[in-house]
Amino acid sequence: MKCLAALGVTTLIGLGILTGCGGMPATMASRPQTMHTQAVTPQVGTGSVTQLNHIIWMLQENRSFDSYFGSLNAYRLAHNLPANVDGLPASASNPVVKGVGTVKSYHLNTVCIENVTPSWDESRRDIDRYNPKDPKAPMDGFVYSAANYAINENAAGHGTYADITGVRAMGYYTDRELPYYYFMASQFATSDRFFSPILSRTPPNRLAGLAASSLGIVNNIPKATSFKAPTIFTLLQNAGISWKVYTTSGNTYLGYFGGFYGKYKATHVFPIAQYLTDLKAGTLPQVAFIETGVETSDGSGTSELDEHPDTNIQKGAAYVSSLINPLMQSPYWKDSVFILGYDEGGGLYDHVAPQPAKIPDSIPPMLAPNNDIDTFSRTGFRIPIIVISPFTKPGYVSHTVMDTTAILKFIEIRFKLPSLTARDAAQPDMSEFFDFVNIPNQAVPSPPVQPTNAPCTNHKLP
């Protein structure tokens, strides 16, 4: 890949991030560069959310807020924005697995690491290593969980994990690795109190991201499962609102809702290439979900585009940019929002504890005999989110507690749909992210090219 300088990239807030072709990015730029945006005739809005005619949302994989945006304040200060993000504290650390000492949070020098575990029991130990059944939220078990996962996977013959001390769980990234995300989070809006809905791994969170409930699932979904519960797409279909699911690898969690999926698959579920076609052809639906949560096996077990710890996060970020940038350059920009989130924290360190939450429904957790006893009365861990729209408040940081089902609430409010469960009904409506009168991001910014050439060493922490 060519250097950014060679590509002649000019950005709104200037990044100056590469030392040379093929090398690891250097530190962030100290001053913003000249603003360059697409010229538009300023418009005044009506103040109503109904100006948004297209809602697109996408969930990438397994990233905690601190692992991605814990260093966002330094970037914001360097670009004349307030340091008002609850990011990584200077004291962020976890106790070592054995002996005396701590593992401090540290800047990773590789854009892929060995997997960690965010499962039901392990997530509770992440919160309180020594008392997971009655946690006081010291957030001290991430290293412990990562270490034991590696040891157990090696013993079971499922991998050759090198990091059996769990230090990888404390690593984080900055704009050095993720210039596109840092730019977009600062140009548009983010939140430091946005959580996954379920305190566990991907499957229950992906289900809750569509149905506002994990439907009892706490870890994996049993084979041949077919849910009859409604999803957000059921509500949209019943209301006559156009919708599509665009898949990265041909798979979607909507497939677990067999009857509905079977009826509408042919007319509403398409490969991601169709999204780009729809932007050009004027056929973008009113609501669209971009699915990266069910991937095909490709060496490390994913499509290599979902930002899972064992994949190259820069490739995933570049993939996301290839979907957002065309939207910003299309006629749809004027009345759309693209919400980028993550399904859950992935077992990566975050210093903020999960928050109390409304139990979605009467379906209890389907626990195995050895699982920690708990309910769905709290969120999962904090996750990154970026809200991208011409209506988004520039540089805005929300501090309002909400989880991924708030996206469902936002869709429901916009299109006058009923709630799916008590969880989405209790969510904030996300209106604080927007200014529907002044339309502050009408001019399309020029984001940096997301590099993909940083070192990727899964089994080595250089």
| pLDDT tens profile 247-257 | 998 899 999 99
Tell me: pLDDT of 121 over 60: yes
Q: Is residue 60 part of a domain?
A: yes
Q: Which domain holds residue 269?
A: 45-433
Q: Is residue 337 part of a domain?
A: yes
Q: Is residue 176 part of a domain?
A: yes
The pLDDT of 62-67, averaged and rounded, is: 98
Tell me: pLDDT of 164 over 70: yes
Q: Is residue 109 part of a domain?
A: yes
SS3 58: strand
- For tokens 């029991």, the residue is 121
Token duo for residue 266 = 């042919």
Q: Is residue 454 part of a domain?
A: no
| pLDDT tens profile 272-317 | 999 999 999 999 999 999 999 776 543 334 568 999 999 999 999 9
Number of Cβ within 10 Å of residue 141's Cβ equals 28
Q: Are 237 and 158 in contact (CB under 8 A)?
A: no
Identify the bridge partners of residue 445 per DSSP, sorted by sequence position: 37
Q: Is residue 453 part of a domain?
A: no
Beta-strand relationship, 189-191 and 386-388:
antiparallel
Distance between CA 180 and CA 194 in Å, rounded?
A: 20
Single pTM value for the model: 0.91
Number of domains in the chain: 1
Amino acid type, 128: D
SS3 397: strand
Residue 182: CATH number of its domain: 3.40.720.10
* Of the listed ranges 34-43, 186-195, 213-222, the one predicted with least confidence: 34-43
Tell me: pLDDT of 435 over 80: yes
Q: Is residue 404 part of a domain?
A: yes
The confidence band for 37, taking pLDDT boundaries of 50, 70 and 90, is low
Higher pLDDT, 294 or 155: 155
| CA-based end-to-end distance of the chain | 22
The pLDDT of 186-202, averaged and rounded, is: 98
Q: Is residue 285 part of a domain?
A: yes
The confidence band for 39, taking pLDDT boundaries of 50, 70 and 90, is low
Tell me: pLDDT of 7 over 90: no
